Structure 1
Amino acid sequence: MRVINIHKRIINQSEKEVSQLFKTLATSNDLVWPYENWPAIRFRDGLQVGSKGGHGRIRYTIIELTSGNHIKFQFSKPEGFVGTHQLRIVAVNDNKTEISHHIEAKSSLKATFFWVFVIRWLHDALIEDAFDKVENYYLATKKVTRYNLWVKLLREVYKRKPFQIKHA
């Protein structure tokens, strides 16, 4: 199956401002990744091309990087996923920036089943949490995207598994 999954959000800040947040990805002061509620994103050799890492059970290698603006990863796990995902920021105008996350992959039959019933749901919730975190950095009244019932159930099941998911 061909998997395409795209998330976008407009942040009411300049590209320069949002770029500074993106430079903190996978650091001890990460202002992008929602590690408070999800497995942290980590890389063996930091943010550089060739560095291997991931989050939870998902593993990948950084294959492209423009500091603060674009990072592209090649999946290595879960098995059966062949493709990439990327985070990108692009100026809409002087005071607005679009942040996006894009997955493009092919999946085996087993991986397709896992994507349709598990990964996609958790992935979508995680990315919306990340986008909330970026947007909330600039807001006085914080935005919170609520999980649907299926995501809540999956989080309960997986918090009992080898990787730990903390409650929101």
Structure 2
Amino acid sequence: MHTRPIPDSAALVDRLVELWPSDRWPALVLDRPLGVGADGGHGFVRYRCTAHVPGRRVEFAFDPTIGMVGTHVLEAVPGGLRHTLTGRPRGLMRLAWPLAVRWLHDALIEDLLDNAARAAGRPPARPARWSAWVRLLRTAAARRGDRRPA
């Protein structure tokens, strides 16, 4: 779970695609405007919007073919934004999640929350920094030709 104190964050939930850190990560692309039934994802991560309460909450269910069964949610909570991932890795993802994907996911979400804070006019005092492991994973991906992994 990732939580960031951002006053008046309700308006930010519906700006998810706009706030996505596409300058550093694969773009979040949906086949229609944010809402129930929108299909999309970023990089190899695919999902479908399964719940949307405008200004409050958006939930996506992972496409099980990526090796993760579960959901991730972005929601406005009192005084901030919260992202929660609830899922079970399957197949090769049981190895990929703890070794790489989890760390990349966490870095991406922190970059997203930094963008949300900036959009709310409250830039983070200390922007998120990628760990040495995330930098190494991204360097390895770049050498393989994946400019922005996950």
Could you say whether these structures have the same fold, taking a TM-score greater than 0.5 normalized by the shorter chain as the test? yes
Q: Which residue of 1 aligns with 2:47?
A: 60
**Separation in structure 1 between the aligned mates of residue 39 and residue 54 of structure 2, nearest angstrom:** 17
Point out where structure 2 has 5 or more consecutive residues left out of the alignment.
Answer: none
CA distance in 2, matches of 1:69, 1:99: 9
Sequence identity (%) = 33
1:122 maps onto 2:104 in alignment = yes
Quote how far apart the aligned CAs of 1:159 are: 2.8
Shift of 1:67: 1.5
Match for 2:94: what amino acid? Answer: T
Alignment root-mean-square deviation, CA: 2.0
Q: Does the 8 A contact of 2:46 with 2:66 survive in 1?
A: no
> Secondary structure of the residue that 2:92 maps to in structure 1?
helix
The CA deviation at 1:24 is 2.1
| 1:96-135 map, 5 Å | 97-135=79-117
Structure 1, unaligned stretches of length 5 or more? Answer: 1-5, 92-96
For 1:136 and 1:83, the matched residues in 2 are separated by 29
| Larger-gyration structure (1/2) | 1
CA distance in 1, matches of 2:129, 2:51: 32
Q: Deviations over 1:83-120 (max 9, x none)?
A: 111111122xxxxx221111111122521110001100
Q: Is the 2:49–2:59 Cα contact (8 Å) retained in structure 1?
A: yes
Label 1:72 to 1:163 Cα distance change in 2 as closer, same or farther (>3 A): farther
Q: What's 1:3 paired with?
A: none
1:33–1:133 contact (8 Å) kept in structure 2: yes
Paired residues, what number? Answer: 148
Question: Which has a greater percent of strand?
Answer: 1
Contact persistence 2:114–2:124 (CA under 8 A) = no
Which of the numbers 113, 118, 133 marks the counterpart of 1:136?
A: 118
TM-score (structure 2 length as normaliser): 0.88
